[in-house]
């Protein structure tokens, strides 16, 4: 299972352009530039038809986070929504492990990640325009970042603007929390686009 996928602390996310734009696909690399997984959007024929009639921000979505063998590590799901949306994070067995609640202020999205008892696990907040987000734990300590700025090996591998990096503090070892935070962080671009 996903011990290899969740053992890294740096995730490089690379959007694969889909010209029909019915669904988004992303590749996930570790800091050495090795592909460790992908994110694929599952979309039905009915949803494709609805996308021509309704705003994408109202429609449900399912994002599968897969490892390099194609096995599902986590799933992010949202149902139909009108104003604020609650998103569920499911583990590899399909069990709900966390919820994501979006809060929007002009170009400053905030995501609260809570466990199934509504206890805060962490928060992702930042500036969508500058594409800079901070990941904090339930006590407000910064434990990671989401950014389009990187150095080292990643800089040589990724140079275009449609890629971003999620980095988690190596001291953040609570794997249960990490399994809830990482899916939110690596799918943030898709969640924002769908909203």
Give the domain range for residue 30.
Answer: 3-194
Residue pLDDT, tens place only, 138-157? 899 999 999 987 555 555 55
| DSSP string for 150-190 | --THHHHH--STTEEEEEE-TT---HHHHHHHHHHHHTHHH
Residue 68 is part of a domain; what is its CATH number? 3.20.90
Rounded to a whole number of angstroms, the CA Rg of the chain reads: 16
Distance in angstroms (rounded) separating the CA atoms of residues 82 and 167: 32
Enter the pTM of the model.
0.79
Q: Number of folded domains in the chain? A: 1
Q: 134, 111, 133: which is closest to 180 by C-alpha?
A: 111
Residue pLDDT, tens place only, 52-83? 455 555 678 889 999 999 999 999 998 776 55
């Amino acid at each position: 299972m996903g011990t290899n996928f969740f053992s890294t602390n740096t995730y490089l996310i690379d959007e694969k352009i889909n010209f029909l734009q019915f669904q988004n696909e992303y590749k996930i690399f570790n800091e050495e530039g090795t592909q460790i997984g992908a994110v694929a959007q599952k979309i039905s024929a009915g949803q494709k038809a609805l996308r021509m009639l309704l705003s994408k921000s109202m429609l449900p979505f399912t994002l599968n986070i897969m490892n390099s063998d194609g096995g599902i590590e986590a799933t992010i799901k949202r149902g139909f929504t009108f104003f604020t949306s609650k998103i569920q994070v499911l583990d590899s067995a399909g069990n709900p492990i966390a919820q994501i609640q979006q809060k929007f202020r002009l170009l400053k999205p905030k995501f609260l990640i809570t466990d199934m008892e509504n206890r805060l696990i962490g928060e992702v907040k930042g500036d969508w325009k500058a594409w800079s987000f901070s990941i904090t734990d339930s006590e407000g300590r910064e434990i990671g970042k989401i950014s389009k700025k990187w150095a080292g090996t990643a800089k040589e591998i990724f140079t275009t603007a449609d890629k971003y990096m999620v980095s988690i503090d190596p001291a953040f070892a609570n794997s249960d929390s990490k399994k809830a935070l990482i899916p939110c962080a690596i799918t943030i671009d898709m969640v924002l686009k769908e909203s």
